[in-house]
Amino acid sequence: MRVLERDGLALAAHERGAGMPVVFQHGLCGDARQTFEAFPDLPDVHLVTLDCRGHGQSEAGGPYAIRTFADDVAALIATLPGPVVLGGISMGAAISLRLAVMRPDLVRGLWLVRPAWLTGDGPANMAPNAEVGRAIAAKDKDGFAAGATAKRLALEAPDNFASLMGFFDRQPLEVTSALLTLIAADGPGVTVAQVAALRVPTLVCGCADDAIHPLTLARELAAMIPGARFVEVAPKGRDKPAHLATLHVAITDFLKEF
């Protein structure tokens, strides 16, 4: 791990291997463990993940926004040799999409795993995260668990339900509440026209049985990006080992282009 200083905060950058620089960003309330697990064991790759503000081993401090997180990642990429192949899971996918649009000088390849945003702010699929953020602030875990959203997700998307319930134990609770409510209402800050103007090799991965990261949204995002490849990976909530195995294959095949 090394430390990146930003706005008076110490942000943790985690690294593995040596070779081609690849940056892979975690999802909301996740950290580098998520991306390191989701990335295949490849030789000649220098894998880097920045724990976003308020995540993992990075210090907490606002503003908590996708554009702020993207600026922090851009500062990290500037310390690496040349443009990087950039990827992200969920919120990390939104960060990566923003950087590919706003800082094309830093990005030579793009992959987006289980995206939760297209281009707009506060998509409906992120509403359960905001609901949990409010419930954490109100200290009402039982109320959320007994509500309609929790009951629906427990049946339709058990992996989403388990993640949401886990947030009630994520410390510090006030940071978790702020992240969930603010980021759920946010977006990548790009337009459809800007996404359609991308000219970078792109992979989009989606899976079924995921209400927070709908498969239809992943397909729609892939269709927006000229020449993007779409891969449906095994559902994470149904069989996590199969999900990771199919994701590893998709990423490995994509990285062969570089």
Q: Where are the domains of the chain?
A: 2-121+187-255
pLDDT band (50, 70, 90) for residue 137 = very high
User: 164-196: per-residue pLDDT in tens?
Assistant: 999 999 999 999 999 999 999 999 999 999 999
User: 96-112: per-residue pLDDT in tens?
Assistant: 999 999 999 999 999 99
What's the whole-number mean pLDDT along residues 200-223? Answer: 98
Question: For residue 82, is pLDDT > 90?
Answer: no
User: How confident is the model at residue 133, as a pLDDT?
Assistant: 98
Rounded Cα gap, residues 70 and 210, in angstroms: 25
Which residues, at least 6 apart from 194, have a Cβ–Cβ distance to it below 8 Å?
101, 119
User: How confident is the model at residue 62, as a pLDDT?
Assistant: 85
Indicate whether this model's pTM tops 0.95: yes
pLDDT band (50, 70, 90) for residue 7 = very high
User: How confident is the model at residue 121, as a pLDDT?
Assistant: 98
CATH label, 2-121+187-255, candidates 3.30.565.10, 3.40.50.720, 3.40.50.1820, 3.40.190.10:
3.40.50.1820
What's the whole-number mean pLDDT along residues 221-237? Answer: 97
Percent of the chain scoring above 90 in pLDDT: 98
What's the whole-number mean pLDDT along residues 144-162? Answer: 96
pLDDT mean across residues, the chain? 97
